[in-house]
Structure 1
Amino acid sequence: MTVEQVNSYQELPTQAPTVWSRTVELTIINFIGSIPRPLGTLLRRLAYRSIFARMGRRVYIQAGVELLGARSMEVGDDIKILRDVRLEIRHPNSLLRIGDRVCLDRGVDIRATGSDCLIEISHDSYLGPYVCMAGPGHIKIGKNCQIASHTGIYANNHREYGLSREGIEIQDDCWIGSGVRILDGVTIGKGSVIGAGAVVTKNIPPYSIAVGVPAKVIKLSKGGVA
């Protein structure tokens, strides 16, 4: 785990939400979550500020977005969250942090079902339709990453000794093709490209092109180190 991840982890919330705050969250989402645009967009932009841990400016949330545990979610500026997205943080000491200018396309599913889990999506990144991300391990998506549709990022795995939660990091400027699977314990280095349908089981060096099942590096661009 990097120093930056440790520092972020230390910022995880420790206070459980009250029954009242959960009731307010469910009430607001049930009454406003399904209202179509443009009225629904405006109402969600105003009302959801009271249920998110932090909500930036110019946040666009379409109808049909499902939220569970919004008190453990931080959302930056200029965010787009499209229809049928599901964001679920079950434990109060876990956190979903979304940076500025991030787009979660239709059907994205992000879940942290365990405790002490940090899922972070940094500035200017895009998650395509039906991307799935799940803890309980930490997941960090770097800046300016493009993750194509139906990709699965799973920060847990069944090992001989039980369930692992080593975490996953996708560093800045990565392109992840459609249908890729990224398994627990993997770091994908800066500027890398992962071909469609690949299964990433081991670390990928920076500025690499990797394809296949399991994914293997087939090319290193300038600056890459094998």
Structure 2
Amino acid sequence: MINQKYFAKLQRIKELLFTTLLGEIPTIALGPNLRRLLYRNLFASMGKQVYIQHGVEFIGTSCIEIGNGVYLFKDVRLDGKGHPDNKITLGNQVAIERNVDIGCLDNTRILIGDETFIAPNVSIAGPGDIKIGKHCMIASHCGIFANNHRFSDLLSPIKDQGVTRKGIVIEDDCWLGHGVTVIDGVTIGQGSVIGAGAVVNKDIPPFSIAVGIPAKVIKSRKTQDAVYCG
């Protein structure tokens, strides 16, 4: 335990040193090339041709794996917390736009599959495991939260009653419209489309079109023409 804590402190010092010296060097000043060269010493693994724009924040980099051709734009935050059982994995060709926050708590695994695009201002958070498949599109201001506060005890503050951690699965080739919220314990089936502003609190079958609060399936892509869902 002592060795783990010592390693975590050294790793955090290393993260702060690298990101302070290199993190704010702008694109026009060869910043991405320097970060690509030197940041690979921080991560559990880092592929080829990774683009990291200035202002990206990393915490717990020993828990973060980055595939080939990943794009991380300004003010992205990846927080692995440094817990030995945590893992954030970004597959090949993943693109994460500005102000996206991806964070673990304890014993959390977050996987984002190949060629998935995450638009600005999205929040993805444990402690439950989160798996987002390949070729997904997550529109701006979505929230994917693999936790839910318990509140059954009327005599205790809600903040002291703990959380659930059932986990979330978003299968391959899904499109989540602007401002969708996905609640802990949900699976969204392959090829599904979730309309803008929906709150997904139960499983969605594959190739469904779902809208509303709470989200309800209104069509199947297998039998209906697709419609714009935002």
TM-score by length of 1: 0.89
Measure how far apart 1:223 and its partner are. Answer: 7.7
String of CA shifts for 1:4-59, please: whole Å, max 9, x gaps. xxxxxxxxxxx663433322221011110000014111110001010011000000
Segments of 4+ in structure 1 off by > 2 A? 15-22, 159-162
Deviation at 1:93, TM superposition (A): 1.8
Of 33, 37, 45, the match for 1:46 = 37
Shift in CA distance, 219/48, structure 1 to aligned 2, threshold 3 Å: same
Alignment of 1:26 with 2:12, yes or no, is: no
Partner of 2:21, secondary structure, is helix
TM-aligned CA deviation for residue 221 of structure 1: 2.1
**Structure 1: unaligned runs, 5 residues or longer:** 1-14
Q: Is the 8 A contact 2:11 2:60 kept in 1?
A: no
Amino acid at match of 1:132: S
Q: Distance in 2 between matches of 1:85 and 1:163?
A: 26
TM-score (norm. length: structure 2): 0.87
Alignment of 1:163-178 (within 5 A): 163-178=163-178
Amino acid in the other structure paired with 2:170: I
CA contact (8 A) 1:56 1:77 kept: yes
The answer to whether the Cα contact below 8 Å between 1:93 and 1:116 also exists between their aligned partners in 2 is yes
Helix, strand or coil at the partner of 2:27: coil
The one of 124, 128, 148 equivalent to 2:139 is 148
Contact 1:69 1:92 in 2 (8 A): no
Paired residues, number: 209
Any idea what SS the aligned residue of 1:97 has? Answer: strand
8 Å CA contact 2:109–2:130 kept in 1: the answer is yes
Q: Deviations for 1:85-120, whole angstroms, at most 9, x for unmatched residues?
A: 1111112320100000000001111011x2111000
Which residue matches 2:220? 220
Q: What residue number does 1:182 align with?
A: 182
Aligned AA (2:167): G
Cα RMSD after superposing both structures: 1.5
1:189-204 to structure 2, matched below 5 A, reads: 189-204=189-204
Counterpart among 90, 100, 107 of residue 116 in structure 1: 107
Aligned-partner Cα distance in 2 for 1:147–1:169: 13
Structure 2 unaligned residues grouped into runs of 5+: 153-160, 225-230
Structure label with greater radius of gyration:
2
Counterpart-to-counterpart distance in 2, 1:92 and 1:62: 27
Q: Equivalent of 2:120, from 129, 147, 159?
A: 129
